[in-house]
Amino acid sequence: MNNQSNLKIKISLMLVTFLGMFVALFLRPVIPQDLAYHGFADEVLFFGIPHFFDVISNAIFLVVGYLGFKIVFQNKNLMARHAWLAFFVSIFLIGPGSAYYHWNPNNQTLVWDRLPMGAGFMALYVVLLVEHLGATLEKYLFPFIFVGVASVMVWAIWDDLRFYFWVQFSSFICIPIILLSFKSHYNQKSGYFYCLLFYFLAKLTETFDKKIFFMTSQVVSGHTLKHLLAGLGLWYLVWMIQKRREVEKTSLAPVSVLNS
């Protein structure tokens, strides 16, 4: 099997997975927002701030978003530069959006948490497609971001999470497929894997929000840890952008996915 055929098979696998998850979700009945989701363990009132640690832990997104944007903005030769800028702007906006939500958790405030998340998921998709399949794919940045934002608006208007779940969880499935299946234009991509690992741990601590809160003598909740772990995972992307180097186009060779 020649390289061209092999490439087509890999792209087909990615597309089948991406679209297959969409079909599978929309074959399900409508998924409304569970209102119990808003009942977080952290009810600490400190300095007049309700749910204090869930609110202030969002500062990590401000820091990582700012640092990432600054580094990318200064690097004029970075591949997928516009997509990276959109991604880090989204990360920065998660800070105030999520803090606003956790100050008063309800469906209306949750919209402002999810909007930058939806945009960020899709911007990162474009980054990966550009770095692994070609620079011309960056022209799809705005349509991709529109899809991410639209998924949140569909939920906000019709209380149906299927579209948003597809945007979020197809990322978690398809990103590893892209990383493992295609050669990158950069000499290492370990930051992506660390980011995925910490994202998984963040989702895990979110699931055990109340249990972690009581295990830590009601000091730190699982959701607070979620913010910190997610922020740490995103920081690895900033670290990766600074450390990696572009592979020469004339000798683009298979690259170990975990080299550093």
Q: Which domain holds residue 148?
A: 52-251
For residue 185, being part of any structural domain is answered with yes
Residues 27-48 have a mean pLDDT of 94
Q: Whole-structure pTM over 0.85, yes or no?
A: yes
Read off φ and ψ for residue 53, nearest 5 degrees: -70, -35
At 57, the pLDDT band (50, 70, 90 cuts) reads: very high
For residue 100, being part of any structural domain is answered with yes
CB distance 80 to 138 below 8 Å = yes
- What CATH number did the domain enclosing 175 receive? 1.20.1070.10
Q: Determine the Cα–Cα distance for residues 83 and 236; give it in Å rounded to an integer.
A: 17
Q: What's the number of domains the chain is made of? A: 1
For residue 180, being part of any structural domain is answered with yes
Percent of the chain with pLDDT over 90: 76
Residues 6+ apart with CB under 8 A from 187: 244, 245, 246, 247, 255, 259
**pLDDT (tens digit per residue) in 126-175:** 999 999 999 999 999 999 999 999 999 999 999 999 999 999 888 778 88
For residue 247, being part of any structural domain is answered with yes
For residue 140, being part of any structural domain is answered with yes
For residue 256, being part of any structural domain is answered with no
On average, the pLDDT of the chain sits at 91
For residue 184, being part of any structural domain is answered with yes
Rg (CA), the chain: 19
User: SS3 string of 92-136?
Assistant: HHHHHHHHHHHHCCCHHHHHHHHHHHHHHHHHHHHHHHHHHHCHH
For residue 43, being part of any structural domain is answered with no
pLDDT at position 150 is 97
pLDDT at position 2 is 62
- Range in 7-11, 179-183, 201-205 the model is least confident about: 7-11
